[in-house]
Amino acid sequence: MTETLTFDHVVVGAGTAGALMANRLTADPTRRLLLLEAGGPDNHPWIHIPVGYLYCIGNPKTDWLYQTEPDAGLNGRTLRYPRGKALGGCSSINGMIYMRGQSADYDHWAELLGDESWNWRNVLPYFKAHENYHGGASALHGASGEWRVEKQRLRWEILDAFADAAEQAGIPRTSDFNVGTNEGVGYFEVNQKAGWRWNTAKAFLRPTCVARKNFTLWTRAQVSRLLFETRADGRTACAGVEVVVAGTRRIVKATRGVLLCAGSIGSPQLLQLSGVGPAALLRKHGIDVVRDMPGVGANLQDHLQIRTVYSVNGGRTLNALASTMRGKLSIGLEYLLRRSGPMSMAPSQLGAFTRTSDAYRFPNIEFHVQPLSLDAFGEPLHTYPAITASVCNLRPGSRGTVRIKSRDFLQAPAIAPNYLSTDEDRKVAADSLRVVRRIMTQPALNRYQPSELKPGVQYQTDDDLARLAGDIATTIFHPVGTTKMGLPDDPMAVVDARLRVIGIDNLHVVDAGVMPTITSGNTCSPTLMIAEKAAQWILGDGQGASSRTEPVAESTAA
């Protein structure tokens, strides 16, 4: 007989959003909550050392190892598509960059949804509620929350020179990318604590949640499907989940609702497997249709970064430093003694936001600049001294899909980002490479004699540069939009403005998939803001009908 357990809430996914949701909901001792994580504990040592992302991405213990479908915009290439497979989810393997995006992103959401609770003024308190900012509390930052934000613990002369060159090219300096406009050049702030990665498992689950008697956590527990029931009034409701734990199938009922926090890939996959999605797709795989929702798995958006590589002379780079045993020993010793140096590095240290043309009112491209070069994350560093200036289109028009390949919940879905599929995206790609070239030819970099290796100075036309972008670009790991928020009359909307799945009671989606359009920057912290809002709505009345524009209370330190 299959064992059946009952909780008030079941949260599917202990990643970025799920960990915060579990923390907030179990603060009410009357709510019994089960948190399900398909991966394992976050006890792999490389998770916690910042540079360990190099060894977590592509590692089956910490990464789901997804691959995209062959992509026409990438000239037929497929990409590795990392997603975190441990407590903390992607916050355990990501770049640790703290980035909210631009105020215009959220004002646009509010306009699309006809709901002012999503504008910048009204989401800012939810960013601050969990923020623990190194500079202390202010009108724009919180300091009493769990989500630690620190300055990086290293600098590179070659990156300082790039920043000087960017300023010479017309990009202003900034010391804070998170004030509502992120235009400028400066070092990124990171989610670290004293030189260690600070993931959401540390921030929101330990020690707070695990000490609560109303909190239960299962790891290596993969949900195979959602369970639905028809109520007396004829409405469909989510009654719970079917989950496989250590090879044993269990039924878990949720009296107050299921919260899908499985991410922009996992949440639409699970909805489709459970009969919620495009009817034709579901019938193709022999799945009974619970609700025909064509938007489930549609609207996929991502930041495609074009990795330009320049060789340099006379500059200290990680390529050279890590090429000798002496250099490697010095790197390890510095981290052991001071928790600083290259082992404390985020994947990108220096950032810049600017416009490819005056036609854009707000910055439309972002740089991630690194004192190193390699073919792809997980590959060896190049043997010659070089830097990488990656640039991405912040608001791409291209839209892709996530679709199940079978009714087997263990089979990865087909991920088709459909990169560079619009004329504007191809134009921005070409123009962004020209911005890189303009920066690299400024006097501040002259002494390093930078020489363009990728894509190569021989490529000049829009068509050439867009085609070469397809050859060298890769994901920056920001998939969003696959269960987007929308108005009830939007046929592609999956959840409403309070993150309730349209037409199904007791079911919310709370992750980056609900974003109607992608934010202008890294997506981890916007996802936490979304979860913070969702938790307050659910705690407010159990149905997400609250119209609060301020958090109920400031978070307390972990």
Q: For residue 543, what are the contacts with CB-CB under 8 A and spacing of at least 6? A: 500
Residues ≥6 apart with Cβ < 8 Å to 539:
24, 25, 27, 28, 552
Angle at 149 between CA 499 and CA 263, to 5 degrees: 30
Question: Which DSSP string corresponds to 443-512?
Answer: GGGGGG--EEEES-TT--SHHHHHHHHHHHEEE-S--B-TT-B--TT-TT--B-TT-BBTTEETEEE-SG
* Cβ-proximal residues to 228 (8 Å cutoff; 6+ apart), any chain: 236, 237, 238, 239, 274, 275, 290, 504
CB distance 414 to 402 below 8 Å: yes
Does residue 9 carry a catalytic annotation? no
Q: What region does 254 belong to: left with phi over 0, alpha with psi -120 to 50, or beta?
A: beta
The catalytically annotated residue of 44, 130, 303, 478 is 478
R_g over Cα of the chain:
23
Beta strands in 142-195 (DSSP E): 147-151, 184-187, 189-190, 192-193
What the block records as the tokens of 394 is: 């912040």
Query: Is the separation of the CB atoms in 391 and 458 below 8 Å?
Result: no
Q: What region, left, alpha or beta, does residue 58 occupy, with left being phi > 0 and alpha being psi -120 to 50 degrees?
A: left
Residue 57: is it exposed, middle or buried by C-beta count within 10 angstroms (0-12/13-18/19+)? buried
Q: Which residues of 324-342 are buried (b: 16+ CB within 10 A; e: fewer)?
A: eeeeeeebeebbeeebebb
What 3-state DSSP class applies to 118? helix
Please name which of 367, 358, 421, 359 lies closest in space to residue 393, comparing C-alpha atoms: 367
Q: Which amino acid is at 70?
A: P
Half-sphere exposure of 374 (CA within 13 A, CB side): 17
Kindly report whether the peptide bond that precedes residue 443 is cis, defined as omega within 30 degrees of 0: no
The first and second tokens of residue 46, run together, are 């490389």
Q: Are 404 and 272 in contact (CB under 8 A)?
A: yes
The tokens for 311 are 């060789």
Determine contact, residues 500/544, Cβ cutoff 8 Å: yes
Task: Judge contact between 272 and 296, C-beta under 8 A.
Answer: yes
Catalytic residue numbers, as ranges: 478
